[in-house]
Amino acid sequence: MGETVTFASNGGTCTGYLALPESGRGPAVIVIQEWWGLVPHIVRTVDRFAAAGYVAFAPDFYRGERTTEPNEAEKLMLGLKVDQAAKDIAGAAAYLVSRDEVTSDKVGTVGFCMGGGLALLAGSVNEHIVATSCFYPATPWPDYHPDWTKYAGKSTIVHLAEFDDAGAKATVIGIEAEITSAGGSAQTFDYVGGHHAFFNEDRPEVYDEGFAKLAFTRTVDLFTRTLN
């Protein structure tokens, strides 16, 4: 359904996977990878948002690297520089709103685990990004210090599994308070009985079809309210 494209980022370039809706036009959504990289699950997720009516795009933050090994994935994630990721996100948003197929200058972002943390960051790095949907976000980087005041007038939802790390949950509570204080909207959905990565159908040991469908519906509802 989609294609690999190149966009400008931080004086250089970055590639990503882009998919268009059947109509050929729609609001834009940035899909942010888990720590594995731009793997088939993320490509399918981009296609799924395109099928729902969005111009969907996944930037390749690892510049072609991907893995199925947790130890290697952790190394790739921890080696990611937050300032570079922020520039890639901002570049992706600027690229999307410049395309003729995109019908609004408002962009949504959705991310998973590592990508959930970067999706939260996204609302603070570009004026076009007005809505973020963050699945069990991880924020392990020492240089992760978003300016939450940039969330004024913006919206975020967070999807947390019951068996997510307790420390990560506490971090999310603090971030929500910062966003609300800044004049943004923040809401957490708890998936009782769910495990981390419940949206990833390539992880059968934790995947939950019912929770995945519900979280996807909630994300589309958010984007329907905010991107038109």
Distance from C-alpha of 169 to C-alpha of 182, rounded to nearest angstrom: 20
> What is the spatial distance between Cα 166 and Cα 170, in angstroms, rounded to a whole number?
6
Phi, psi of 55 (to 5 degrees): -80, 105
Residue 58's pLDDT band, with cuts at 50, 70 and 90, is very high
Q: How confident is the model at residue 93 (pLDDT cuts 50, 70, 90)?
A: very high
Half-sphere exposure of 72 (CA within 13 A, CB side): 8
Decide: residue 38, CB within 10 A, 0-12 exposed, 13-18 middle, 19+ buried: buried
Average pLDDT over residues 173-180: 94
1 pLDDT more than 80: no
104 falls in which pLDDT band (50, 70, 90)?
Answer: very high
Query: What is the pLDDT averaged over residues 194-223?
Result: 97
pLDDT score for 166: 81
Which whole number is the average pLDDT over 11-19?
A: 94
- pLDDT score at 211: 98
CATH number at residue 112: 3.40.50.1820
Q: What is the distance between the alpha carbons of residues 110 and 199, in angstroms, rounded to a whole number?
A: 12
Instruction: Enumerate residues 6+ apart whose C-beta is below 8 A from 85.
Output: 61, 118, 121
With a cut of 90, say whether residue 165 has pLDDT above it.
Answer: no
Query: What is the C-alpha radius of gyration for the chain, rounded to an integer number of angstroms?
Result: 16
Q: How far is CA 70 from CA 31, 59, 100, 181, in A?
A: 21, 21, 39, 36
Own/partner contacts of 99-104, CB < 8 Å, gap of 24 or more, are 99/28, 99/55, 101/20, 101/24, 101/25, 101/26, 101/55, 102/25, 102/26, 102/27, 102/28, 102/55, 103/25, 103/26, 103/27, 103/228, 104/27, 104/28, 104/227, 104/228
Note whether 57 and 29 are within 8 A (CB). Answer: yes
What ranges make up the beta strands (E) of 20-92? 26-32, 55-59
Beta bridge partners of 189: 159
Confidence label for 31 from pLDDT (cuts 50, 70 and 90): very high
In tens, the pLDDT along 131-142 reads 999 999 999 999
Domain count, the chain: 1
Cβ–Cβ under 8 Å, residues 129 and 30: yes
Q: Which domain holds residue 14?
A: 3-226
Indicate the pTM of the whole model: 0.97
pLDDT over 90 at 169, yes or no: no
Say which residue the tokens 């929500």 belong to.
176
**Strand 55-59 with 3-9, pairing:** unpaired
For residue 149, pLDDT over 90 is answered with yes
